[in-house]
Chain A
Amino acid sequence: MKKQRPVNLDLTTISLPASAKASILHRVTGVAMFIALILVVWAWAVSLSSAEGFELVKSVLTSHFAKFLAWGTITVLLYHVIGGIRHMLMDLGYWEELSSGNTSARVAIGLWIVLAVLAGGWLWF
């Protein structure tokens, strides 16, 4: 049965609460990781194939572009893990209210940004 009801899915006109941002980030990072895994599995396979393969991956990872891809992969992974832990805690009954849900989402995103900066520092310096 099709219900006639007003639908407003123009995201540019909707102000997303923190919990909605956390939700969409969890999805985006999940999809991104599934694609990024092609690079991760490649690097892993080559690095374990031989000592030369290991050196090849190491030399590839010295370029800024490769470092950026590695940083991006680690960063999306970090968010997905943080968001995932938040989800599992919500399964246990925490942060289910409007305000606590938004607070935990803000904390998750904040923590992620800090860890993303740290990961960048770790990769480049």
Chain B
Amino acid sequence: MVLNQASLKRDGVQDYVSIRATATVLGLYVLFILGFFLVTPEVTYEIWQGLFAQLWMKIFTLLALISVAIHARIGLWQVVTDYIKSSRIRAVVQFLVSVVAFGYVAAGLFVLWGV
């Protein structure tokens, strides 16, 4: 049995389901935000801040950001394994992707905390 080091502790089925589940969350979030901007005649600070002050919107936004992190980690893994042949450079790129993805979630957490 060959141990696939590239997919350490992950498997194809899990990636397949994760990328689609997170895509569904992100699609709904994008539709919601787009709808908000289209429906609101003029987005003022009060309306904008009021939207993100609500608990359900904080949950929805945090869920979307965590989905971004999972979705991007899988998606960019798919891309870099195709185009970056050097495993050393690929490891560095994947490390940076993970750090940035974590950064988005962390930034979101602190911003939502303060609203």
Contact between chains at B79 and A31 (CB < 8 Å): yes
From A41, A54, A55, give the contact of B104 (CB < 8 A).
A41
Contact between chains at A77 and B52 (CB < 8 Å): no
Contact between chains at B75 and A30 (CB < 8 Å): yes
B35 to chain A, nearest CB (A): 13
CB closest chain-B residue, reference A45: B111
A7 at the B interface (CB under 8 A):
no
A82 to B79, CA, bound (A): 19
Contact mask A18-48 → B, CB, 8 Å, 1/0? 0000000001001100100110010011011
From B20, B30, B76, give the contact of A31 (CB < 8 A).
B76
CB closest chain-A residue, reference B75: A30
A61 to chain B, nearest CB (A): 11
A88 to B17, CA, bound (A): 11
Residues of A within 8 A of B79 (CB): 27, 30-31
Residues of B within 8 A of A27 (CB): 79
From DSSP, what is the main secondary structure of chain A's interface residues?
helix
A82 to chain B, nearest CB (A): 10
B23 at the A interface (CB under 8 A):
yes
B55 to chain A, nearest CB (A): 15
Contact mask B60-104 → A, CB, 8 Å, 1/0? 000000001000100110010000000000000000010011001
From A47, A54, A81, A88, give the contact of B30 (CB < 8 A).
A81
A84 at the B interface (CB under 8 A):
yes
Q: What would be 28 A-B contacts, judged by CB atoms less than 8 Å apart? A: A27-B79, A30-B72, A30-B75, A30-B79, A31-B76, A34-B72, A34-B97, A34-B100, A37-B68, A38-B100, A41-B104, A41-B107, A41-B108, A44-B111, A45-B107, A47-B45, A47-B48, A48-B48, A48-B115, A49-B111, A55-B45, A77-B30, A81-B27, A81-B30, A84-B23, A84-B27, A85-B27, A88-B20
Given contacts A31-B79, A54-B48, 6 further A-B contacts (CB under 8 A): A27-B79, A30-B76, A41-B104, A44-B111, A51-B45, A81-B30
6 nearest A-B pairs in the assembled complex, by CB-CB distance: A54-B45, A51-B45, A45-B111, A34-B72, A30-B75, A84-B23
